[in-house]
Structure 1
């Protein structure tokens, strides 16, 4: 087991790269957005992303970020965002100070046990492989407040609305509206983690009211944004 410790300023980026070992990327503070060929993950403070060996990924920082990374094999086959328990947090922070190999092995066993029991959260936004649609989706992720109809999206892609609808289903397994709603909810977690008012977050992500945003957030994630903020604060 190896550890890496890095602190970043708002807007800093880590270029696309991969590791020979499995990796646990922990946001001790701040929010990270991790991008891969298949899509994006949002890692709020107090959460971590598991990245299997060989998966290329880039990272963008939202706010001042304190990143702690563990490189170890846990047998987890796919990327996933987990809620970091108090015990796991202390183990991650202490791992870099464990010079005695015996203590390191004990810590590794405890970390693997905590990882297997950790709660997973929905924090993934898939992106398509189709070049033009991928470029459009990446543009939307930069400006989730835009409110284009399917026909308007098609006009930008020089495709019919029906062709765009088929592309979304074929490439992403969901409709245009479903993908857009999921992207907005996932991206909103970056702002919620910073403690921004729910109404402000709603307006910045294309909703006309806090109630409409809350309803969609709850439909996708299963709980309200206010509960999400409360649990995040309690986790610290």
Structure 2
């Protein structure tokens, strides 16, 4: 973590009496699990390099380097890092979070926000700099204007369907039939087909495909090859995996590994 915090800020995650915005950076090596916790301030979580997975009881969000996840004040969440991660967080005073998303959301970063964050980081040693207040206002207004991106995986709400989702998250390559999954959830195939979209917004097949694609980002960030990633996730055709990845993320897996996703 990059010290120091602005003078007078004992806890940048919860101190609502301090500056409007506090920027904190951290470098993490290897796979790390951050246990469930919450903050008194709102948090915008992003990475300069690497990948973070954020989880709540409602679902899972991915944070590649062209996006960030907004976490409202008081939201219980946990996180996993994949590979080497140079991460950053912006903690926004709770009283300034009106108009910001009330649920976690993946936001696509703007060049303006990136450069504003870097400038604010450089002012840790100069808390009285007259530019600070202006930059803090830019951060809050820019977060309000950022477009949301669909890099989340909503979880079902009923206990029976959660069993299916957890099974697919644990083993994305599973090829069970609709009847097999229905038996696991102790419901009829017709009920499963009807309830899964109601609870998640996706059919079971589309949810499974989405789970595999999001997992592919994690595996690639951890250093797995494109071929190894496709095979681990159960794709019989490497080219089919590459084509689906490009349709979903705008770049091929190889381009993503090179960091070309920033221009997608």
Note the residue ranges of structure 2 that are not aligned, 5 or more in a row. Answer: 1-20
* CA apart distance, 1:46: 4.0
- The residue aligned with 2:117 is 92
Structure 1 runs of 4+ off > 6 angstroms? none
Segment of structure 1 superposing worse, 182-191 or 91-100: 91-100
CA contact (8 A) 1:31 1:65 kept: yes
Alignment of 1:51 onto 2:86: no
| TM-score for both structures, normalised by structure 1 | 0.84
> Does 2:82 match 1:82?
no
Once the 2 structures are TM-superposed, how far is the Cα of residue 81 of structure 1 from its aligned partner?
1.9
Of 182-191 and 223-232, more deviation after overlay is shown by 223-232
Matched, 1:123 2:151: yes
How many residue pairs were aligned?
Answer: 235
Could you tell me whether the CA contact under 8 Å between 1:81 and 1:122 is conserved in 2? yes
- Other-structure match for 2:32: 12
Using the TM superposition, give the Cα deviation of residue 178 of structure 1 relative to its aligned residue in structure 2, in angstroms.
Answer: 1.2
Residue number among 197, 202, 223 corresponding to 1:174 in the alignment:
202
Deviation at 1:196, TM superposition (A): 4.5
CA apart distance, 1:218: 4.6
Query: 3-state DSSP class of the match of 1:96?
Result: helix
SS at match of 2:236: coil
Runs of at least 5 residues in structure 1 that lack an aligned partner in the other structure: none
Give the match for residue 3 of structure 2. Answer: none
Partner residue in 2 for 1:138: 166
Q: Does 1:149 align with 2:169?
A: no
Matched residue SS, 2:115:
helix
Provide the rounded CA distance (Å) in 2 between the counterparts of 1:192 and 1:225: 12
Matches within 5 A, 1:19-30: 19-30=39-50
TM-score, normalized by length of structure 2?
0.76
Q: How does 1:212-223 map to 2 (within 5 A)?
A: 212-219=240-247, 221=248, 223=250
Cα root mean square deviation, aligned: 2.7
Q: Which deviates the most, 7-16 or 189-198?
A: 189-198
Alpha carbons of structure 1 residues 232 and 223: separation in structure 2 relative to 1, 3 Å: same
Alignment CA distance shift 1:175-1:109 (3 Å)? same
User: Cα offset for 1:180?
Assistant: 0.7
Higher percent of residues as helix: 1
SS of the aligned residue for 2:218 comes to helix
1:162 correspondence with 2:186: no
